[in-house]
Amino acid sequence: MKRSTSLAFAISFLLGSQASYALTPWQDGAPEIIIYTSGGAAQDKAYGEVVKKTLASSGTLDIFDDVNPKNGNVGSRWTSYFFIGNKNLGEGLADKKILLEKRIAGAAGYGVVPLVAPVPVAIEHLNITATKAADWQSNNPATLVANAPNLWKAEISNINGTKFLTKKVSDAGFLGIDPNSLLKPGTENYPTPVNEVITGKPELKWPTNIKSVPSQFNVIPTGGLVYGVGVTQDLYQVLQVAQKRAGILPSTVKVGGYSESDLPTLNRNVLGSFFAGKIGNWEQFTFVDQATGKTKSLLDEDVLTEAGVAKPSKNADKLTPVGVGRRNNGAAIGGVAYAKLLNYPGSANSIPPARPTANKATDESVALPIVKSPTGTSDTGNLLKDWQAGTNVSGYNNVVEGAGNARIWGLAFNSADRNNSVKADGTGGDAWRYIKVDGYAPTLTNVAAGNYPLWAEGTFIYLKKNAKDGLWESKTKLLKTLADDLGSPTVANSVNTNQPWGKTGIFATTADPRGFVNDVPFQDANPVVPFSHIGSDGIVHLEITPVTRCSTFLVESMTHFPAKLFYQKQLKSGEEPCRLKTLSFMCIAV
C-alpha cells in the first residue's frame, strides 16, 4: 500500500530519529476497518500496550486523545488508535488501515448496557475520520508532544462536540468486572447514563431492566486487576500515628513514609462500615493508646501534632464529616468494592453502599458522611486532592467556597496503579495515599498468596455473529486477539506499576485456557495468580469466593504450621503443578 510521507518527513525533521511515520485520515485517507469499543479505565495501560505491540505494525501507530475542558485530563474519555494491521494478524487485518476507538466515559456500564440492550443504544464515540489536521491543531497548539511523536489531542466540549464525536453502537465492551455483576436492576451496580457532551443531557433511550448478557454474545475473561483504597494525605498520616500508638504499626515507622511496612491498615469490616455510610463523622472513630491505656480520638491535638497536620473542617453541626468516595453506578471499581466489603448486591439483605450527597453546599454542610460518586479513576484522584486541599477543582467539594475551608478526611476506591510518583519517604505525587486492607498492601504478591481481597477479573464482550456487518469476521478476530493479550502475563508485566510498597496492576490467572502456571515463590515478572472467580458454569462471577483452578498442588510452605510441609502428587506426563507458596490451609490433591 502506497502511503504519503510528506507529513511524516516534517515530523521526523522536527523531532529527530524517535519519530515514526504518521497515520492520519487527512493525510492517508479513511481507515478500511473501524472498530468502536467502550468500557472502563481499569486496564487502560494494557489496552494501549496490546495495540502497540500486537495489533499495529511497527512505526504506523498514531494516537488521538480528547482533552477534558473541566480538568485538563488527556484521554480520560476517548482515545482512538489509527494503525496498519500487523502481519501476524493474518488475512483480513494484516496491512489494513485500522481505526480502533476506546471510550471510557461512563465507565464499565457503557461497555455492557448499550451493547446488550434489546435495541442497542448508540453512544458518543470519538470521530477522527471527519476531521482535518487544523481541527486538532486549532484546539491545542502543542499537538505533537515533545519526545512522543504521533500523539494528537483536542479539547472537546459541547461547543465543538459535533465535529469530534459521532453516535455509534459499540462493537465491543471491555469491563474490569464480569458484566452480570453490573446487570442488577434496582441496585447501585446497575449502570445509569451520564450526560452526553453534545446535548448536556443523559441518554433517553437507556434500558433499566437488563438482567443478564444474552447468549449471542461472547464473554471473554481478560485477566485480573488489583484495586485499592486511597485516603487523603492528612488522614494517612493521622492513621499512622494512631496505629503506632495502638501497637499495630512498629514504633520505628516514620510519619509520611510510604514503604510497605509504613502503610496503615483498615480491615474489611471497618471499610465496609465507612462505605455503607455507617461511620459519619471522625468523632466516632477512636483507638486505644497502649502507653496510657486510654481511648483517644484521631482529632486529639497531640495526635494531630505528631502527624503534622491541621484539623479538618467541621460541618454546620460542629462535627467533622467523613468523606466517602464511591463510584458512579455501573463502574467496575465500585462493583468490586461493594462485593468484597459489603457482599452487595449478591447476598440477600446485604447492606448497600451509601447514597451520594447532592453537589450543593447546603447539602454537604450538614451531611454525615459526605458521599461522592466520581465518574472515573482520574476524577477519584481529583476528589481526594480537593478534600485534602479544601479546593473544588473536581466539582465535588462544595462544602464552603474558597480554598482551605473545606478540608475533609476522606477515603475512596480506585485501581491500585494510580499516583505512582510518590517516593518511599512519602514525598512527591498527589496528596493522597493507598492503605493496606486486612494488613496487606494491594500488591500482586499479596493477591497471589490469597491475602489481599480487592481484585477482580476483567471481561470483553461482543456479538458472536453480526450478519449486518460484512467486516465482522475480521473485527472479532482483532477483538479476540486484544482480549487474549489483556489476559497475558507478558503484557501485564510490561505495563504494571512499581509503587514504593510493591508492584501492582494486572495479572493472568491459572484459569486461563492457555495454561499459565504461577511461580514459587511468586515472581512479579510472571504475574500469574492461582485463584479465580470462575464458577462451576465456567463464567466469572465476582460475587463468589475465588478458589484455585488447579487440580494438582505443590505446597512448599505453610505459615500456620511449625515446620515446612511438602506434598506432591505423582504427575502424569505433560501435567503441570499449580505451585502455591503461602497458604493458611492445607491443600491435598486427589
Query: What is the per-residue pLDDT across 152-165, written as a single tens digit (0 to 9) for each?
Result: 999 999 999 999 99
- Return the residue matching grid coordinates 480520638: 297
Cross-strand pairs, 224? 457, 507
pLDDT at residue 5 is higher than 60: no
pLDDT-based confidence at 565, cuts 50/70/90? Answer: very low
Quote the CA–CA distance of 392 and 375 in Å, as a whole number.
16
C-alpha separations of 51 from 77, 89, 205, 485, 491 in Å: 18, 12, 32, 10, 11
Quote the CA–CA distance of 81 and 36 in Å, as a whole number.
10
Name residue 519's amino acid: D
Whether 554 contacts 579, CB under 8 Å: yes
Q: Which residues contact 412 (CB under 8 A, 6 or more apart)?
A: 229, 230, 231, 323, 324, 325, 326, 374, 380, 383, 384, 432
pLDDT at residue 18 is higher than 50: no
More confident residue, 563 or 434: 434
HSE-up of 49 (CA within 13 Å, CB side)? 18
Average pLDDT for residues 249-258, to the nearest whole number? 97
The confidence score (pLDDT) of residue 143 equals: 53
Quote the CA–CA distance of 170 and 105 in Å, as a whole number.
13
Q: What residue segments make up the domains of the chain, in order of their start? A: 6-221+459-463, 226-448, 510-583
- Rg, the chain, Cα only: 25
Quote the CA–CA distance of 371 and 358 in Å, as a whole number.
8
pLDDT at residue 554 is higher than 80: no
Average pLDDT for residues 327-344, to the nearest whole number? 96
pLDDT-based confidence at 145, cuts 50/70/90? Answer: low
Average pLDDT for residues 245-267, to the nearest whole number? 97
The confidence score (pLDDT) of residue 142 equals: 52
C-alpha cell at 55: 495489533
pLDDT at residue 94 is higher than 70: yes
Quote the CA–CA distance of 397 and 552 in Å, as a whole number.
52
pLDDT-based confidence at 14, cuts 50/70/90? Answer: very low
Q: Residues of the chain with pLDDT > 70: what percent?
A: 87
| pLDDT tens-place string over residues 468-494 | 999 999 999 999 999 999 999 999 999
Q: CATH number of the domain at 226-448, out of 3.40.50.150, 3.40.190.10, 3.40.50.170, 3.10.20.740?
A: 3.40.190.10
| pLDDT tens-place string over residues 348-374 | 999 999 999 998 888 998 999 999 999
| pLDDT tens-place string over residues 268-299 | 999 999 999 999 999 999 999 999 999 999 99
C-alpha cell at 282: 471522625
- For 557, counting Cβ atoms within 10 Å of its Cβ (0-12 exposed, 13-18 middle, 19+ buried), the class is middle
| pLDDT tens-place string over residues 44-77 | 889 999 999 999 999 999 999 999 988 888 899 9
Polymer length of the chain? 590
| pLDDT tens-place string over residues 147-200 | 568 899 999 999 999 999 999 999 999 999 999 999 999 999 999 999 999 999
The confidence score (pLDDT) of residue 521 equals: 87
The confidence score (pLDDT) of residue 147 equals: 57
Phi, psi of 315 (to 5 degrees): -90, -170
> Chain-wide mean pLDDT for the chain?
88
The confidence score (pLDDT) of residue 205 equals: 87
Quote the CA–CA distance of 218 and 393 in Å, as a whole number.
40
pLDDT-based confidence at 588, cuts 50/70/90? Answer: very low
Whether 333 contacts 420, CB under 8 Å: no
pLDDT-based confidence at 133, cuts 50/70/90? Answer: confident
Q: Which residues contact 382 (CB under 8 A, 6 or more apart)?
A: 71, 374, 393, 394, 396
At 370, which helix (H) or strand (E)?
A: strand 370-372
pLDDT at residue 590 is higher than 50: no
HSE-up of 466 (CA within 13 Å, CB side)? 19
The confidence score (pLDDT) of residue 402 equals: 54
Taken in order 194, 483, 215, 37, the sign of the CA dihedral is positive
Whether 263 contacts 499, CB under 8 Å: no
Reply yes or no: is the peptide bond before residue 546 cis, omega within 30 of 0: no
pLDDT at residue 439 is higher than 80: yes
Local structure of 220: helix, strand or coil? strand
Average pLDDT for residues 533-558, to the nearest whole number? 74
pLDDT at residue 13 is higher than 90: no
Quote the CA–CA distance of 66 and 154 in Å, as a whole number.
5
Q: Which residues contact 69 (CB under 8 A, 6 or more apart)?
A: 155, 156, 157
CA 509 to chain centre: 18
- For 2, counting Cβ atoms within 10 Å of its Cβ (0-12 exposed, 13-18 middle, 19+ buried), the class is exposed
CA 542 to chain centre: 15
Local structure of 163: helix, strand or coil? helix
The confidence score (pLDDT) of residue 582 equals: 39
Quote the CA–CA distance of 130 and 65 in Å, as a whole number.
15
Max Cα-Cα span within the chain? 80
